[in-house]
Amino acid sequence: MSPLGRVDDPDRLRALVDAVLTVGADLSLPAMLRRIVEAAVSLLDARFCALGVLDEAHLGLSEFVYTGIEADDAAVIGHLPEGHGILGLLIVDPQPLRLPDLHAHPDSFGFPPNHPPMTSFLGVPIRIRGQIFGNLYLTDKQGAPEFSSDDQALAVALAGAAGIAIENARLHARSQDLSLLEDRDRIAADLHDTVIQRLFATGLALQGTVRSAPPEVAERIQRAVGDLDETIRQIRSTIFALQAPRTARQGLRNQVLSLAAEAAASLGFEPHVRLDGPIDSAAGASIGEQLLAVLREALSNVVRHAVAGRVYVDVVAGELRLSVRDDGVGFGTGHREGGQGLANMSRRAGDLGGRVHVQSGPDGRGTTLSWHVPIKAGGG
């Protein structure tokens, strides 16, 4: 007997080979998995077939590809399976499972009200080199009361092809991530070693001409040097962002930008945000949460009271400093003095050993909120 059991039908073998060769085709992972599912339905004379891919923690299903159910019927059923009931049993105990009636099994539950009726069941794990990637499920054997041992052998072979496809896709994704990280590091190094150094040298050269220049020219040179310094700060911020690990992509830096973007809908314009220093690595989760809460309250105050045309948000690492500046009506007008917002900001700063200061411009217009917290109080 062959490793596939008593599978001697040339058409079935040819179809199996075609399904396995699908793995070598230039297709996306979803397309490959769908071909395997469709081949399984045809090869094993099943009415329904599905393929579930386990998440990285092996606790549930991250992907679920199926055939045999029309799109309209699927919409009525609702959300896709998450790996409970019989499907959950195969995750916990990844062994082939054949049942003449899946509803008779004690672990059969979780079918939604509009799910089509299913009786016979065949499930096999998707594994390669001992690692489990998911499971292949078939139901309702056509022309027979249940799936046979030959059917199980064919399903195991198809599951092996699916395992290769999933592993190849994940390896490809990891290689792309590594290439992206290498590109990010290279760009960061080029910005630091080439662009910043040239800008710095240009600034020094300009400063060297100030003494011999007429007053009006000297003033323009000083403004240009200031612009160069600001450009260098922005490039340094970009370098820190490029060098941040992937886990920090939802870190403090990006959350500050997200809050500013959210405020744009209410302000009618987007605040200008400047981020200076290694904010994600310098500030820990606890201090980051406090800073975000203060920023949210400050932007809300601007929306409600300032009647501003511009807003500037600065976040600087070192002593972590948040500054929110607007060109509106000024502090103390527009009923800004009421409410608990400023008191909450002060409390958040005080709890972390910091301070908060709010003042209007010399002419009484505009407001600047400065919130300072020592990194050692909340970092790590």
Q: Output the six-digit token pair for 374.
A: 């020592």
Q: What are phi and psi of 54, to 5 degrees?
A: -70, 150
Q: Write down the pLDDT at residue 116.
A: 77
Q: Write down the pLDDT at residue 250.
A: 60
The CA distances from residue 355 to 5, 313, 322, 342, 346, in Å, are: 76, 17, 11, 11, 6
Predicted TM-score (pTM) of this structure: 0.43
Listed in sequence order, the residues at least 6 apart from 82 whose beta carbon sits closer than 8 Å to its beta carbon are 60, 61
* Dihedral sign (CA 8, 11, 12, 18): positive
Q: Output the six-digit token pair for 102.
A: 């899946």
Q: Write down the pLDDT at residue 262.
A: 83
Task: Quote the strand ranges of the chain, DSSP E.
Answer: 46-54, 61-67, 97-99, 121-128, 131-141, 272-276, 311-316, 319-326, 355-360, 367-374
pLDDT 10s digit of each residue in the chain, 380 long?
344 444 556 566 566 666 665 555 545 677 778 888 888 888 888 998 888 887 766 666 777 888 887 776 666 565 656 556 677 677 777 888 898 988 777 766 666 666 778 889 998 988 877 778 888 889 999 999 999 988 888 888 888 877 777 777 777 766 676 666 677 777 777 777 777 777 877 878 887 887 788 888 888 888 888 888 777 777 776 776 666 654 444 678 888 888 888 888 788 888 888 888 777 777 777 788 888 888 988 888 888 887 888 899 998 887 788 989 888 877 765 444 445 678 888 888 888 888 888 888 777 788 899 998 887 544 44
Q: Write down the pLDDT at residue 75.
A: 67
Q: Write down the pLDDT at residue 372.
A: 87
**Rounded CA separation 54/60 (Å):** 6
What domains can be seen in the chain, in order of their start residue? 10-174 (3.30.450.40), 246-378 (3.30.565.10)
Q: Write down the pLDDT at residue 348.
A: 85
- Burial of residue 270 (CB within 10 Å: 0-12, 13-18, 19+) is middle
Q: Write down the pLDDT at residue 122.
A: 92
Cα 362 from chain centroid (whole Å): 44
Q: Write down the pLDDT at residue 351.
A: 86
Task: Quote the strand ranges of 277-347, DSSP E.
Answer: 311-316, 319-326
